[in-house]
Structure 1
């Protein structure tokens, strides 16, 4: 298999804004930063095929122009607002985990409840999900554990590219550290991760590179020793550090 590479060519995030071109490789964690409403969210959703992108995104030569394309090419998006766009509040923890991957539990013509539960238990252990019975409602969990269930659901789909929209928003410090270790492990295994975070320090701790957005355009691409709070903030405001 060729090295994993997602290429973005001349992606326009808003009419009249400068087009964005960059590349994201397997094994790296790329952070997205910017003032609210300056295009980083649209950029992330474009990578997931959730915005019209004029076929400006491809993964290993395969166009990602729709959500169906993203699904087919193992590009997985985890939304920011888990309550309104992530969890299914009327379903159990187990159903929330397995709803995107029912085929993994098929044995012949039937879904195996035993196989589904075994898959969940494996991810529960890996992500240190603190939960009662898998049949309990997802709303019985703390915010941090709901987030872990969403991540388990996403990772059960075996993504090549994982797109995370503010994944530690509203979680406690212990959960945050577990997630940081998980993200680093996934990158070490060759996955590409793109993380939009509202916290600059989180990006600096986690990421190999940061893309800073301003006015729906790419204002700066920062890596190495230049990845400091002052350089990121300066780029967000259109200044030099």
Structure 2
């Protein structure tokens, strides 16, 4: 777990952010090297907060900015978020993640085609080398790169989508229920990858429908209720009883 007192630079800052017009605004910071969990009952704002950080939705008020106070970049849309080092892994990989008619390799490389260009042409060798490096890091089990992505298990499809996000070389990785529908072995591979990324200085924000997962992975947790931030917990205060109590608007 990183020492927050030594994390040198502010990565992302939400200032006076309101998720809806009738919700209380809040401010939050995300720093390099930390894993922040988002919890709450379904539909209470945590997913909307994640999507606002990704540039996919607009807040009712307030701003999302990257960088320090003297060099801020305001995130206004998804394209700007990606261009400035924010990657987003969606919740429903089948509906909004994979391209089912494409190969494993094409699904991996579709967001970073320009990185494989040589003299205006796509270098198949460069693209394959990039895929193989992430395949090895994430332990992707695929028969071959040109196999249809639908031939892979759900867990391996999720790993391909994560590889696609990491290929963008983000500073901030936003994960929307990243272990949903994957087997136990894949979960633990992903947990190790997430911890390794944080140790390298990447910031991660993890929305999970499982409280135990957030407590296992995250350095702090933000709990949402009625589209507002109702609690922030770290250290010993992060426990199942406290998170559930905050989700239901009760004192622990």
TM-score interval for Structure 1 and Structure 2 normalised by the shorter chain: over 0.9
- Equivalent residues in 2 for 1:185-196 (5 A)? 185-196=196-207
Q: Is residue 116 from structure 1 mapped to residue 127 from structure 2 by the alignment?
A: yes
CA displacement at 1:11 relative to structure 2: 1.1
Q: Is the 8 A contact 1:29 1:206 kept in 2?
A: yes
Aligned to 2:185: 174
Q: Is residue 100 from structure 1 mapped to residue 107 from structure 2 by the alignment?
A: no
Which of residues 57, 61, 69 in structure 1 aligns to 2:64?
Answer: 57
**Which deviates more, 2-11 or 118-127?**
2-11
Measured in 1, the distance between the counterparts of 2:83 and 2:11 equals: 16
Measured in 2, the distance between the counterparts of 1:143 and 1:177 equals: 15
Which of residues 129, 133, 143 in structure 1 aligns to 2:154?
Answer: 143
SS of 1:56's equivalent? strand
Q: Return 5+ residue gaps in structure 2 as ranges.
A: 1-7
Measured in 2, the distance between the counterparts of 1:79 and 1:150 equals: 9
Q: Return 5+ residue gaps in structure 1 as ranges.
A: none
Measured in 2, the distance between the counterparts of 1:210 and 1:189 equals: 21
Q: Is residue 164 from structure 1 mapped to residue 171 from structure 2 by the alignment?
A: no
SS of 1:57's equivalent? strand
Which of residues 23, 27, 31 in structure 2 aligns to 1:21?
Answer: 27
Normalising by structure 1, we get a TM-score of 0.98
After superposition, give the CA deviation of every residue in 1:7-45 in whole Å (9 maximum; x if it has no partner): 001111112110121111010000000000000000000
Measured in 2, the distance between the counterparts of 1:140 and 1:55 equals: 43
CA displacement at 1:206 relative to structure 2: 0.2
Which of residues 17, 37, 43 in structure 2 aligns to 1:11?
Answer: 17
- Aligned pair count reads 240
SS of 1:195's equivalent? strand
Measured in 2, the distance between the counterparts of 1:20 and 1:135 equals: 46
**Which deviates more, 59-68 or 139-148?**
59-68
CA displacement at 1:55 relative to structure 2: 5.6
Q: Is the 8 A contact 1:19 1:217 kept in 2?
A: yes
Aligned to 2:209: 198
Aligned to 2:195: 184
Normalising by structure 2, we get a TM-score of 0.93
After superposition, give the CA deviation of every residue in 1:49-85 in whole Å (9 maximum; x if it has no partner): 1111356100101101211220121111110000000
